[in-house]
Structure 1
Amino acid sequence: MRLSKELKLPSISMTGFETPLSTEELAIQNSVHLFAKNVLRPLGQELDKLSAEEVIAPGSPYYSVFAEAAKLGLDSSLLEQLPPEMAVRVESLIGEEMGWGDPGLAISLAAAGFPLEMARAVGNQELMDLCAGKIGCWMITHPNKGSDVTTYDVQRDWAKGAPGNKGNMLATVGKDEIVINGQCSAWVSNGAVAQVALGYLGADYGDGYFAEDGRPNGVAAIIPLDLPGVSKGKPLRKIGQRSLPQGEIYFDNVKIPKRFAVALKDEYYGNHTSAWSYAGTHMGQTFTGVARAAFEMALQYVHERKQGGDLLINHQLTRFRIGDMLRRVELCRGVARRSLAYARMTPEGHAYATASAKVTITQEAMKVVDEAMQLYGGAGTSLEYPIEKLFRDTRAALIEDGENNLLTMRLGFLAQQLYAEGWAQN
Structure 2
Amino acid sequence: MLLTEQQEMIKSVARSIAKDYIEPRAMEVDKTGEFPWDNIKVMAENGLFGVHVPEEYGGVGSDMISHVAVVEEIAKVCASTSVALSTQALATAPFLIAGTEEQKKKYVTALATGESLGSFGITEPGAGSDVASLKTTAVPDGNDYILNGQKVFITNAGESGIYVFVTRTSEHRTKGITLFIVEDGTPGLSFGKKEDKMGIRGSVTREVLLENVRVPKENMLGAEGEGFKILMKVFNETRPVVGAQATGIAQGALDYCLDYVKERKQFGKEIHQFQMVQSKLADMAMKIESSRLLVQKAARMLDNEDKNVAGYSSMAKCFASDTAMEVTTDAVQLVGGYGYIKEYPVERMMRDAKITQIYEGTNQIQRVIIANHLINE
Q: TM-score over 0.5 for the alignment?
A: yes
1:64 and 1:247 map into 2 onto residues whose CA distance is 21
Give the residue type in structure 2 aligned to 1:29.
K
C-alpha deviation, 1:403, in angstroms: 1.4
C-alpha deviation, 1:290, in angstroms: 1.0
* 2:171 aligned residue: 210
Match 1:242 to one of 201, 204, 209: 201
* 1:3 aligned residue: none
Q: Tell which deviates more after alignment, 193-202 or 404-413.
A: 404-413
Q: CA RMSD in A?
A: 2.2
* 1:188 aligned residue: 154
Where do 5+ consecutive residues of structure 2 fail to align? 56-61
C-alpha deviation, 1:93, in angstroms: 1.8
Using a 3 Å threshold, how does the CA distance of structure 1 residues 111 and 92 change in structure 2: closer, same or farther? Answer: closer
Matched, 1:148 2:130: yes
C-alpha deviation, 1:120, in angstroms: 4.2
C-alpha deviation, 1:130, in angstroms: 4.5
Contact 1:183-1:250 within 8 A present in 2 as well: yes
2:289 and 2:279 map into 1 onto residues whose CA distance is 15
Contact 2:94-2:230 within 8 A present in 1 as well: no
1:359-403 Cα offsets, whole Å, 9 max, x none, are: 111001111111111100111101110100000000121111111
* 2:40 aligned residue: 66
* 1:31 aligned residue: 13
1:253 and 1:73 map into 2 onto residues whose CA distance is 36
- Secondary structure at the residue paired with 1:240? coil
More helix by share: 2
* 2:344 aligned residue: 385
Taking every aligned residue pair, what percent have the same amino acid on both sides? 22
* 1:326 aligned residue: 285
Using a 3 Å threshold, how does the CA distance of structure 1 residues 269 and 358 change in structure 2: closer, same or farther? Answer: same
Contact 2:332-2:340 within 8 A present in 1 as well: yes
Using a 3 Å threshold, how does the CA distance of structure 1 residues 371 and 77 change in structure 2: closer, same or farther? Answer: closer
Match 1:136 to one of 91, 115, 118: 118
Contact 1:41-1:101 within 8 A present in 2 as well: yes
Using a 3 Å threshold, how does the CA distance of structure 1 residues 339 and 257 change in structure 2: closer, same or farther? Answer: same
1:77 and 1:235 map into 2 onto residues whose CA distance is 29
- Secondary structure at the residue paired with 1:255? strand
C-alpha deviation, 1:88, in angstroms: 4.0
1:201-231 Cα offsets, whole Å, 9 max, x none, are: 122xxxxx323xx546111122112111111
Matched, 1:251 2:207: no
* 2:22 aligned residue: 40
Give the residue type in structure 1 aligned to 2:94.
M
2:276 and 2:267 map into 1 onto residues whose CA distance is 13
Using a 3 Å threshold, how does the CA distance of structure 1 residues 141 and 369 change in structure 2: closer, same or farther? Answer: same
Matched, 1:177 2:144: yes
1:372 and 1:198 map into 2 onto residues whose CA distance is 38
1:330-341 alignment runs, 5 A limit? 330-341=289-300
C-alpha deviation, 1:138, in angstroms: 1.1
Contact 2:120-2:163 within 8 A present in 1 as well: yes
1:96 and 1:333 map into 2 onto residues whose CA distance is 9
Using a 3 Å threshold, how does the CA distance of structure 1 residues 344 and 139 change in structure 2: closer, same or farther? Answer: farther
Q: Number of matched residues? A: 365
2:142 and 2:359 map into 1 onto residues whose CA distance is 36
C-alpha deviation, 1:123, in angstroms: 4.0
2:275 and 2:29 map into 1 onto residues whose CA distance is 38
Contact 2:175-2:226 within 8 A present in 1 as well: no
1:117 and 1:403 map into 2 onto residues whose CA distance is 20
Q: Tell which deviates more after alignment, 378-387 or 126-135.
A: 126-135
Using a 3 Å threshold, how does the CA distance of structure 1 residues 348 and 136 change in structure 2: closer, same or farther? Answer: same
Matched, 1:287 2:254: no
- Secondary structure at the residue paired with 2:200? coil
2:262 and 2:64 map into 1 onto residues whose CA distance is 35
Contact 1:284-1:361 within 8 A present in 2 as well: yes
- Secondary structure at the residue paired with 1:32? helix
Using a 3 Å threshold, how does the CA distance of structure 1 residues 415 and 267 change in structure 2: closer, same or farther? Answer: same
Contact 2:7-2:66 within 8 A present in 1 as well: yes
- Secondary structure at the residue paired with 2:167? strand
2:294 and 2:89 map into 1 onto residues whose CA distance is 24
Matched, 1:357 2:323: no
* 1:59 aligned residue: none
Matched, 1:103 2:79: yes
User: How high is the TM-score relative to the length of structure 1?
Assistant: 0.80
- Secondary structure at the residue paired with 1:248? strand
Using a 3 Å threshold, how does the CA distance of structure 1 residues 319 and 347 change in structure 2: closer, same or farther? Answer: closer
